[in-house]
Amino acid sequence: MSTKPTSSAGTGLLEIGEAWERVAACVSPLPAVSVGLDAALGRVAAEDAVSAVDLPPFDRSAMDGFAVLSSDTSPPRGLEVVGELAAGEVAPAPLMPGTALGITTGAALPSGADAVLRIEDAKVDGSCVTPVGPVAVGTSVRYRGEDVAGGAVLASAGCALGVQHVTALASAGVGSVAVHRRPVVHVLATGTELLEVGAAPEPGRIHESNRLTLRMLAERAGAEVVVHPVVLDEPAATAAAVEAGLAGDVLLVSGGVSVGPHDHVKPALQERGVEEVFWRVRLKPGKPLWFGRRGATLVFGLPGNPLSTVACFLLFVGPALRRLQGEAAAAPPYVPARLAVPARPADGRTTLLTARLERGADGVLEATPTEGQGSHLTGALAASDGFVVVPHDAGELPAGSAVQALLV
């Protein structure tokens, strides 16, 4: 793979779609692990998950009534009731001609019987039962294996396991399933100005939010997250932190990837053998995004502004985490929306505007950009449901335009 960014129309910036393709090309699904069914929801099957048993596992009654021989009911005649069988019990002896065995829904059909006479279709007189009419072979019987044969595939490799798959596997006698391992994500934030969440204010310093944001988003995407202490803008501290952060499958570094004198992240990564795949995307917010790899470890250098961090995560990091977990088609989670008011891109970059996204009467999301727009405007983020995407070549889009949106 080329490590040189392809400039887009002379801007020196990579198109968002091209940047995502370069990320996706570096991602391989993580190896399989076995998990209990109680932890399988949302995981992606690494192998076909098959039924351990036939379903039903034995011929069962579908109704409350009497197990009978069909031939005893045509013409109908009185049958001696020889006992009663509840679900979970097994008949001690085969059913003999001229007799019937009381049976409840789900109980195993006794050998010898070939039909179930529904209680509604029977006249009971003491220990004698008479069918109101003939009962054909197989009536109200659920035969062994008619639903699922033992060994049948209930969830194919690559399938994201939903409630429907887990339910079927549990019914099919399966206790655990092979799924792709969760990625281990290390999170670093650089910035000498950063204060811990909830710390007392100090002159010249700002409260840090990106580590928490990244942790929430990465955990929501299925990752196991290791959060590191804040890193000072100083080459040795940055180098040591990057070294520690390269221990997992993915390293997310917040801040320090621009071109300022205190941006030490790129040299620290490159000195540690992390190969640059691209730097700078035609995206606002998020232009300085850096992406590289060392072996199978992926590294995202995310611009420090909180909205840039969120935007870059939604577009690139989240889908990569899903692909690592085996979701082969995972991609940026665009959803269709409609502009409620006109909107335009900023300075030649595809622009993610913070927006309210509310369902219109026809079910389509109506996007209303927030009044303020800027990568540092956390107030606008708080007032939004996500972003509406305005392509760099769109010019001014009129109200009613079909657009893509990203929900946070």
Spatial contact of 279 and 300, defined as CB atoms under 8 Å apart: no
The site partner of 311 among ligand AMP, Mg ion, none (C-beta below 5 to 8 Å per kind) is none
Q: Of the two residues 144 and 211, which places its CB atom closer to Mg ion in the complex?
A: 211
| Residue 303 near ligand AMP by CB under 6 A | yes
Tell me which residue has its CB nearest to Mg ion: 255
| Residue 286 near ligand AMP by CB under 6 A | no
The site partner of 303 among Mg ion, ligand AMP, none (C-beta below 5 to 8 Å per kind) is ligand AMP
Q: Which stretch binds ligand AMP (CB under 6 A): 129-137, 186-194, 240-248, 269-277?
A: 186-194
What is the size of the binding site for ligand AMP (CB under 6 A)? 16
- Residues 230-269: x/- map of binding to ligand AMP (CB under 6 A)? ------------------------xxx-x-----------
The site partner of 364 among ligand AMP, Mg ion, none (C-beta below 5 to 8 Å per kind) is none
Name the 3-class secondary structure at 299.
strand
Q: What does 348-376 look like in DSSP terms, one character per residue?
A: TSEEEEEEEEEE-TTSPEEEEE-S---TT
For residue 313, give Cα distances in angstroms to 304, 351, 372, 377. 12, 15, 21, 17
Residue with tokens 């060994």: 151
Spatial contact of 117 and 138, defined as CB atoms under 8 Å apart: no
Q: Of the two residues 102 and 256, which places its CB atom closer to ligand AMP in the complex?
A: 256
Q: Which stretch binds ligand AMP (CB under 6 A): 80-88, 132-140, 168-176, 303-311?
A: 303-311
Q: Which stretch binds ligand AMP (CB under 6 A): 83-91, 97-105, 188-196, 360-368?
A: 188-196
Q: Are strands 122-125 and 128-131 parallel, antiparallel or unpaired?
A: antiparallel
Phi, psi for 12 (deg, rounded to 5): 75, 5
Q: How far apart are CA 143 and CA 56, in angstroms?
A: 7
Q: Which stretch binds ligand AMP (CB under 6 A): 33-41, 71-79, 208-216, 328-336?
A: 208-216
| Residue 297 near ligand AMP by CB under 6 A | no
Name the 3-class secondary structure at 269.
helix
The site partner of 254 among ligand AMP, Mg ion, none (C-beta below 5 to 8 Å per kind) is ligand AMP
| Residue 194 near ligand AMP by CB under 6 A | yes
Q: Of the two residues 256 and 318, which places its CB atom closer to Mg ion in the complex?
A: 256
Among 132, 149, 206, 236, binds ligand AMP (CB under 6 A): 206
Instruction: Catalog residues that contact Mg ion under the rule CB under 5 A.
Output: 191, 255-256, 304
Q: What does 127-188 look like in DSSP terms, one character per residue?
A: TEEEESS---TTTTEE-TTSSB-TT-EEE-TTPBP-HHHHHHHHHTT--EEEEEPPPEEEEE
Taking the complex as a whole, how short is the minimal distance between the CB of residue 196 and ligand AMP, in angstroms? 10
The per-residue b/e assignment along 322-344, b for 16 or more CB within 10 angstroms, e otherwise, is: bbbbbbeebebeeeebbbbeebe
Taking the complex as a whole, how short is the minimal distance between the CB of residue 369 and ligand AMP, in angstroms? 22
| Type and span of the H or E element at 300 | strand 297-302
- Residues 105-144: x/- map of binding to ligand AMP (CB under 6 A)? ----------------------------------------
- The answer, yes or no, to whether the previous bond of 75 is cis (omega within 30 of 0) is yes
Taking the complex as a whole, how short is the minimal distance between the CB of residue 297 and ligand AMP, in angstroms? 21
Q: Of the two residues 102 and 255, which places its CB atom closer to Mg ion in the complex?
A: 255
Tell me which residue has its CB nearest to ligand AMP: 304
Among 99, 139, 210, 325, binds ligand AMP (CB under 6 A): 210
Q: How far apart are CA 34 and CA 208, in angstroms?
A: 37
| Residue 305 near ligand AMP by CB under 6 A | yes
Which residues lie closer than 8 Å to 122 by C-beta, 6 or more apart? 65, 66, 129, 130, 131, 132
Angle at CA of residue 173, ends 171 and 177, nearest 5°: 100
Angle at CA of residue 323, ends 322 and 326, nearest 5°: 95
Taking the complex as a whole, how short is the minimal distance between the CB of residue 231 and ligand AMP, in angstroms? 10
For residue 326, give Cα distances in angstroms to 24, 32, 159, 178. 12, 9, 8, 11
Q: Which stretch binds ligand AMP (CB under 6 A): 119-127, 297-305, 318-326, 341-349?
A: 297-305
Taking the complex as a whole, how short is the minimal distance between the CB of residue 270 and Mg ion, in angstroms? 18
3-state helix, strand, coil in the chain (%, to 5): 20, 30, 50
Binding stretches for ligand AMP (CB under 6 A):
189, 191, 193-194, 206, 208-210, 254-256, 258, 303-306
